[in-house]
Structure 1
Amino acid sequence: MKLCAVQARSIKGDVQANLERHLACIEQAAALGAELVVFPELSLTGYEPTLARQAALPVSAARLDPLQAACDRLGITAAVGLPLPTPEGIRIGMPIFSPGAPRQAYAKRRLHDDELPYFTPGDQALQLQLGEHRVAPAICYESMFMAHAVAAREQGADLYLVSVAKTAKGIDEGHAHYAEVARELGMPVLLANCVGPADTFIGAGGSAAWDSQGRLLARLDDHSEGMIVLDTRSAAAIAVPL
């Protein structure tokens, strides 16, 4: 199976422009043979906590229908980033669109301290069955705790799908950690980070894939948009420009 991580630059708060960019990336990922494509954290709005409340959309929103239509047509699953409104508050969400299936959403369960004024944590794990694989999503800060990946592995996951918005320091720390996750738990890791302005920092790219032995298979640079395509059958990955 092929999976794709998109390294993209979001336009601050412009859901429509970002959605159109997502659709183009989904088309390209499908053309490369991917069965799943993952985007960076809060990719449809950009990582902009101060805008989250006004930009939040439920996963059922008609505005997201083009994503579902593209996934239905292309036979691909897309995991995007979006603030999600809930009775408990706004969550850092990962809406998931699968062909011919109801929409799902995962929400970040462990928040960084500076996210607490804007977001409330999710409270449920989620795994995707894709072919022979069980895929566990993780969103940024929570993915830096080995316990999150361990719990996913214990629940049957054999692939760790990480969506982040990280600085240069954060991505360097992430690379060391995700290699350890892959090596210690024996499951490949696919990472999607943003590039360009995000909140008060610059997204530092470095989207990458590791095999089940913790070997780095492919990595994008710190500023270019692109894709990492991971082939789980051959345990190989390539970097593709956007």
Structure 2
Amino acid sequence: MIIGIAQVPMYWDVSANSAHACQLIEQFNYLDLIVFPELGVTGFHRGVADKNNLQQVDGAINTIRELCQQHGVSVMIGAPIMRGDKVFNSYVLIDASGRLTRQWDKVGLTPSEATFFTPGEHRQPVALNNQTVSAIMCREVDDLDWFFTESAGHDINLVVWPSYIGDRDVSASEGPNYYDNAATLAQRLKAVVIQCNWPETLNEGPSTDMHGSTVIGADGDSWFTLPAKQPCFGVVDLSKQECNVLPLSKLEASGSQEDKHCISI
């Protein structure tokens, strides 16, 4: 599979975030799969709870579904999904026919998320392009025993890790950090782990240090990472273990296909 990692700039409203996602889907429609970060439709910020944002989510997802069907590309993206009076921090898989084939609701919420979101329950994988794919959402990578139990009986090849992770979240002073746990996850499942992280924040301001999205091989070794704190788009060829990255500023300005190698770890 050839997979795009959309390490995208963040906006306050659904219309801007979803429009940028749609632009990238159209630009990179030749890929097998494009992955976006946690809450990629709305942005990950205090405005997620705004009713105007929530009311636009379904329309944004339907537009993305139409583009997936039109171009024959699959997409994984995060969004707050309402069911009755409950709101879930969800990550959805839309396949190349435009079908929403899986909705994973975040189980391991942070304390601040739990004030707004309802926790999910299960995490079942799904077949995609002859692969078995699952998702682990941000800090859920600290809940490996739960994830392994949910994954039992499935030969998972690829785990997508949508994230909102900054330096403050990965200190190893109190034990293994998120990236150590992600390496353990890859080794245990013998699966490739592809993280898609936000390059910036809105709540804390632009100076917050965010980690670059990272790809971890099935042996637990990091293959490469995208540049930290920089909006960019990585193209990962799993069969060749290669990644190229295009800064999104160039993409928006000229649509240039010029690329450069991402940073190896």
Give the aligned residue type for 1:169. Answer: R
- Residue 29 of structure 1 is matched in structure 2 by 28
Q: Bigger CA drift: 214-223 or 192-201? A: 192-201
- Residue 203 of structure 2 is matched in structure 1 by 199
Q: State percent identity of aligned pairs.
A: 20
Unaligned runs of 5+ in 1: none
3-state SS of paired residue (2:244): strand
3-state SS of paired residue (2:49): helix
**CA-to-partner distance for each residue in 1:200-238, whole Å, 9 max, x for gaps?**
463614101111111211201221111233323233333
3-state SS of paired residue (2:29): helix
CA contact (8 A) 2:88 2:106 kept: yes
CA contact (8 A) 1:36 1:78 kept: yes
The number of residue pairs the alignment matches comes to 238
Structure with the larger RCO, 1 or 2 (CA within 8 Å, 6+ apart): 1
3-state SS of paired residue (1:81): strand
Deviation of 1:21 after TM superposition, in Å, equals 0.4
Deviation of 1:135 after TM superposition, in Å, equals 0.5
CA contact (8 A) 1:208 1:228 kept: no
Q: How does 1:220-235 map to 2 (within 5 A)?
A: 220-235=226-241
> Structure 1's 57 and 212: CA in aligned 2 closer, same or farther, altered over 3 A?
farther
The alignment's TM-score, normalised by the length of structure 1, stands at 0.87
2:127 to 126, 129, 135: 129
The alignment's TM-score, normalised by the length of structure 2, stands at 0.80
CA contact (8 A) 1:88 1:120 kept: no
Deviation of 1:16 after TM superposition, in Å, equals 0.8
CA contact (8 A) 2:18 2:60 kept: no
C-alpha separation in 2, matches of 1:203 and 1:18: 21
Deviation of 1:174 after TM superposition, in Å, equals 2.4
Deviation of 1:195 after TM superposition, in Å, equals 1.7
C-alpha separation in 1, matches of 2:246 and 2:77: 19
> Structure 1's 30 and 205: CA in aligned 2 closer, same or farther, altered over 3 A?
farther
The answer to whether structure 1 residue 187 and structure 2 residue 184 are counterparts is no
Unaligned runs of 5+ in 2: 172-176, 249-265
Give the aligned residue type for 1:4. Answer: G
3-state SS of paired residue (2:116): coil
Deviation of 1:57 after TM superposition, in Å, equals 4.7
CA contact (8 A) 1:165 1:203 kept: no
- Residue 105 of structure 2 is matched in structure 1 by 107
> Structure 1's 179 and 227: CA in aligned 2 closer, same or farther, altered over 3 A?
farther
C-alpha separation in 2, matches of 1:27 and 1:48: 26
C-alpha separation in 2, matches of 1:238 and 1:154: 33
- Residue 178 of structure 1 is matched in structure 2 by 182
3-state SS of paired residue (1:66): helix
Deviation of 1:143 after TM superposition, in Å, equals 2.3
CA contact (8 A) 2:124 2:151 kept: no
C-alpha separation in 2, matches of 1:68 and 1:184: 33
- Residue 150 of structure 1 is matched in structure 2 by 148
C-alpha separation in 2, matches of 1:188 and 1:83: 26
Q: Bigger CA drift: 62-71 or 49-58? A: 49-58
3-state SS of paired residue (1:123): coil
3-state SS of paired residue (2:28): helix
